[in-house]
Amino acid sequence: MNPSLISSLCLTTALMALPTLFFRKANSVALSLLTLMFSLLLSALVVATAIDARWAAPAWLSVGSFPMTFQLDNLSVAFILLLTVLASAVALFSPGYLKHFDETVNRGLYWASFLVFVSSMALVVLSADAVTFLVFWELMSISSGALVATNHQNHSVQKASLIYLGATRVATGFLAGGFLWMHSLTNSWAFQDWHFITNASAQLGASTSGAHFAAFLIFIGFAIKAGIWPFHLWLPYAYPAAPCTVSSLMSAVSKIALYGLIRILVLGDLDSPILGYLAIFLGTISAFWGVLFALIQTDLKKTLAYSSVENVGLILLAIGVCLVAKTNGLLSVAAIALSAGLFHAIGHGVFKALMFLGVGTVQCATHTSRIGHLGGLLKKMPTTSTCFLVGAMAICALPPLNGFMGKWMLYQSLMQNTWLSGSPVGAGVSLSVICVLALVGGLSIACFANAFSVSFLGEPRSSSAARAFEGDIGSSCAQVFLAALCLALGLFAVPVIGFLKPICDAALHSDTTVAATIHFSLSSVLIVFTSLFALIYLLILKPSKVRRGIIWECGFGSVSARAQVTADSFAQPIARIFNKLLSYSVTCEIEGSDRRHFPERITVAPHTASHIERRIYQPFLKLISFIARSLAKLQSGSIHLYLVYLCVTLIALLIVGRSF
C-alpha cells in the first residue's frame, strides 16, 4: 500500500474539518460517525502499510521551499493505534456528552478543533523531520487550546486556556531552540541524522560535540508539554477547565510529548548520564508530587489531572532508567525500561481516558464533578461506576490490569539495574526509586479509594446526585470498550511487548528479549482467583439470609447523608503527615453564644497551597509583567517619538552592519 495515503488522509481530514467551524449547531452524531470512520480508516491504513516506510508530502504542500517528510515505524504505529482507539472512544462518547452543555457552546468549533487535533496528533507522530514536526506540533497545540476553551463564557476556563497556551508557547520555544541547535550541528533536519553522542564509539558512530546542550533544551521543551514536575502547573488548570472528552484526549497529548522524547533522544542514542539521572530524578519527584496532590483534591477532574502528572512521571522515570542503562552498556536493563515506558504510556492513555469519560458521564448526570456533592452513584449508574472502578484499579497498578504490568516492568528494570550495575551508586539510586515507587503505590490506593468511594458509594450528598441517571448507549459502549481494553492489555501483555520489541531493538542496536523476563502469567492468577471467588460466593455468601437495615450510629436514630466522610476528611491523616510539602492546615470556627456546649454553626476548612506556584512562578510572572510594563512606557502615542525610535534603530543597524 502506498504510505503517502496515510499523511494525505490526515491532511484532508484536517482541511475538511475547517468548514464545520461555521455551523454553530452542527449535527454531533454525523460528525461523531465521521471521526469514527476516520479513526478506523487511519488504523486500517497504518496496519496495512509496510513498516519502516519513508515518504515526502506532495510538492504543493511544503513549508516554504522545504518538503515535508514522513515515516512509519513500530514506534509511530504504536502511538497512532493508541490515538485512534482513544479518538473512536471519545467520538462515540461525545454526542451524548455535548447535550449537557447549553446552547452557548459552539458545536461546530468543537468538532472542527477536535478533528484537526486528532489528525495533527497523527501527523506529529508521523513526522520524520524537525520542521514538519514543529508545524504539526503547533497545529496540535492551537487546536487543543481551542478545545480547552470550548466553554469560553466561563471565567475560569478563560484563565485556564491562557495558562495552557502560555505553557505550550514556552515548550515550543525550547523545542525550536533545541532543533535549531541540532540543525546547526548536523546540517540536517531529519531525525534519523541526529545523534546525541559526545563520546565517539565504534558501535554508535560519529560524535557530535555540543549535542548535549541541544538535547537538554529538547528535554525541557517536552517536559513542559508533558507536565513534568516542576513544569506541571498548567495541567491542573487545563484539564478541569476542558470538557471531559477533551481532557481524555489531552492525556494522550502528554503521551505525544513523551513520544517525542523517545523518538528524538532515545532513538538518537543520547549518551548523557546527567540527563538520564535528571530524567530519573524529575520522574520520581513528579510521580510522588502528582499523587500527593491528587489525594487532596476535592474535584474529580483535578484528581485525575494530578494523577496524570504522576503517571507521566513514571514514564519519564522509565525513559531515564533506559538512558542511564544504555550509557552504562546494560542493554537488557535499557530494553526492559524502554518497554516499561512504552507500555505504561499506552496503558495510561487507555485508563486515564476511561476515567475522564466516567467523570464526563457523572457530569452529565449531576452537573458537577465536585466529590463533596456526589455519592451513591453506583446504584444509579452501574455501568459507569464499574468502569470507573476498573480504571481506578488499573491506575493503582493492581493485577491483572494493564497498570500493573507497566509498573512491574519498571520495578523489574530497577531490580536488574541493581544486580547488573555493579556500582553502589547505581544500586542505591535504584533502591531509593523503588522505595519512592512503593510510597506512590500506597498513596495512589488511598487517593483512588477515596475518589471512587466518596463519589460512587454511600448515600447521595446532594439532590442532583440523588437524581443521577446512567448515560446513553454510546457513552456506556465507549467506557466498556476501554475497560475491556485495560483488562486485555494486562492479560496479553506478552504479545504487546513482543510488538514493542522492534522499537527496543532499534533504540539499542541489538536483539532484545524483554518478553522472556515476564516469568508469570496474569491469566492463570486471574483464573485461580476467579474460581476461588466463585466457590466462596456460591458456597458461603449466596445461601446466607440477608436482612436490610440502617447503619450503626451509636443509637441516635438515623444520621443524615452529610455525616458521611468527605474527600477532605478521608485524606486528612495523610495530608497531616505531609503538611510541610502541602502547606496544609485546617481552620475550625465555632459560632454560637455558648460555643463549647451548644454550637450553632461549625465551619471546618482545610487549606493547601503549592510552594512552587507561590514562591517561584508568581514572583517570576510578576517580574515579567513588571518588565513588560516598563517597556510599555516606550509606547507613548506620539508619532514623533516613534520616528525618533525608527531613526535610532536605522543608525544602529547601519553601524552594526558596517562592522561585518
Q: Is 516 in the site for another protein (CB under 8 A)?
A: no
Q: Is 22 in the site for another protein (CB under 8 A)?
A: no
The 347-376 site mask, x for binding another protein (CB under 8 A), equals -----------------------------x
Region 408-427 residues binding another protein, contact defined as CB under 8 A: 408, 411-412, 415, 418-419, 421-424, 427
Q: What Cα–Cα distance (Å) separates residue 53 from each residue in 20, 69, 122, 128, 129? A: 33, 11, 15, 10, 14
Strand 69-72 to strand 53-56: parallel, antiparallel, or no bridges (unpaired)?
antiparallel
| Shortest Å, Cβ 433 to another protein | 11
Structural contact between residues 493 and 406, judged by C-beta atoms closer than 8 angstroms? no
Cα 278 from chain centre: 20
Among 203, 544, 593, 638, binds another protein (CB under 8 A): 544
The 102-141 site mask, x for binding another protein (CB under 8 A), equals ----------------------------------------
In DSSP terms, 205 is beta-bridged to 201
Looking at the Cβ atoms of 262 and 287, the one nearer to another protein is 287
d(CA 168, CA 252): 15
Among 22, 469, 537, 626, binds another protein (CB under 8 A): 537
Structural contact between residues 611 and 583, judged by C-beta atoms closer than 8 angstroms? yes
Binding residues for another protein, rule CB under 8 A, total: 80
Looking at the Cβ atoms of 350 and 397, the one nearer to another protein is 397
Q: Is 441 in the site for another protein (CB under 8 A)?
A: yes
Residue 540: all three cell numbers together: 458461603
Q: Is 442 in the site for another protein (CB under 8 A)?
A: yes
Looking at the Cβ atoms of 3 and 376, the one nearer to another protein is 376
CB atoms within 10 A of CB 442: 13
Task: Identify residue 654 by its one-letter amino acid code.
Answer: L
Among 72, 250, 282, 378, binds another protein (CB under 8 A): 378
Q: By CB neighbour count within 10 A (0-12 exposed, 13-18 middle, 19+ buried), where does 235 fall?
A: buried
DSSP string, 427-459: HHHHHHHHHHHHHHHHHHHHHHHHHHHHHHSSS
Residue 333: all three cell numbers together: 536493563
Looking at the Cβ atoms of 520 and 598, the one nearer to another protein is 520
**Could you identify the residue written with the cell 502528554?**
254
Alpha-helical runs (H) found in 54-129: 74-98, 107-126
Q: Is 609 in the site for another protein (CB under 8 A)?
A: no
Looking at the Cβ atoms of 59 and 554, the one nearer to another protein is 554
Among 25, 545, 596, 658, binds another protein (CB under 8 A): 545
Looking at the Cβ atoms of 259 and 456, the one nearer to another protein is 456
Looking at the Cβ atoms of 519 and 601, the one nearer to another protein is 519
CA angle 506, 512, 517 (to 5 degrees): 140
d(CA 471, CA 179): 46
d(CA 321, CA 593): 62
Structural contact between residues 358 and 544, judged by C-beta atoms closer than 8 angstroms? no
Q: Is 519 in the site for another protein (CB under 8 A)?
A: yes
Q: Is 431 in the site for another protein (CB under 8 A)?
A: yes
Looking at the Cβ atoms of 300 and 378, the one nearer to another protein is 378
| Shortest Å, Cβ 616 to another protein | 24
Looking at the Cβ atoms of 366 and 450, the one nearer to another protein is 450
Looking at the Cβ atoms of 42 and 295, the one nearer to another protein is 295
Q: Is 588 in the site for another protein (CB under 8 A)?
A: no
In DSSP terms, 590 is beta-bridged to 602
Structural contact between residues 243 and 190, judged by C-beta atoms closer than 8 angstroms? no
Q: Is 436 in the site for another protein (CB under 8 A)?
A: yes
Among 47, 435, 643, 652, binds another protein (CB under 8 A): 435
Of 221-229, 272-280, 558-566, 622-630: span binding another protein (CB under 8 A) = 558-566
The 388-407 site mask, x for binding another protein (CB under 8 A), equals -----x--xxxx----x--x
